[in-house]
Amino acid sequence: MVFRLFVLFIFLLVFNFEANSQTFSDYKIIGNNTGITSLTEAEVKSYFKGKYTLWKSGKSVKVVLHSSQSKHSSILAKLIFNTSQQGVQKYWMSLVFQGRANPPVFLDSDVLISEYVAKTPGAIGIIYGKSNIGNCSLIQIK
C-alpha cells in the first residue's frame, strides 16, 4: 500500500512537472500577412514583447496574447516573458502608456486567437500545438 502511494506520488509529481515545463516545441506560432515564414525563439520573444513595429510586408505588428482566462497564460508568461501573467499585463500596460508600442489584444482561448489572427493582417499569435490554426499562416520556429 505504501509502495502504491509512493508510485502515485511520483507519478503526480512527474505529471505536474511535465504540465508546467512546456517549451516552444509544444506551441505553434501563427500569423497573417507577416511576410515571414520562420523565426528563432529569441525573435518570437521579441515580437511578443513589442520590440518590432512593422513587418517586412509593411503591416504593423499586432500582438495577440492569452488573457488570464486562458489555461495557457501562466505557462506562456513564463516561457516568453519569464514572469507571471500579472507581470505580462503590467509590462504591456507600461509599454503602451509610454507610447512606444501598440496595445496587444488579450483573448481567452486558442480558438479565439486563431480566429482573430485569421481576420487581422499583421497579427501574430501563439496557440497550443494540438490546436487548429484555421486560416492562419504557420510560422516555423528555427
Provide, rounded to whole angstroms, the least separation between the CB of residue 17 and another protein.
Answer: 21
Q: Is 139 left (phi over 0), alpha (psi -120 to 50) or beta?
A: beta
Element (H, E) at 90: helix 85-98
| Binding site residues, another protein, CB under 8 A | 46, 51-54, 58-60, 82-84, 86-87, 89-90, 93-94, 96-100, 102-103, 122
Closer to another protein by CB, 122 or 125: give it: 122
Closest separation in Å from C-beta 107 to another protein: 15
Distance CA 142, CA 139 (A): 9
d(CA 137, CA 4): 47
Residue 11 or 97: which CB sits closer to another protein? 97
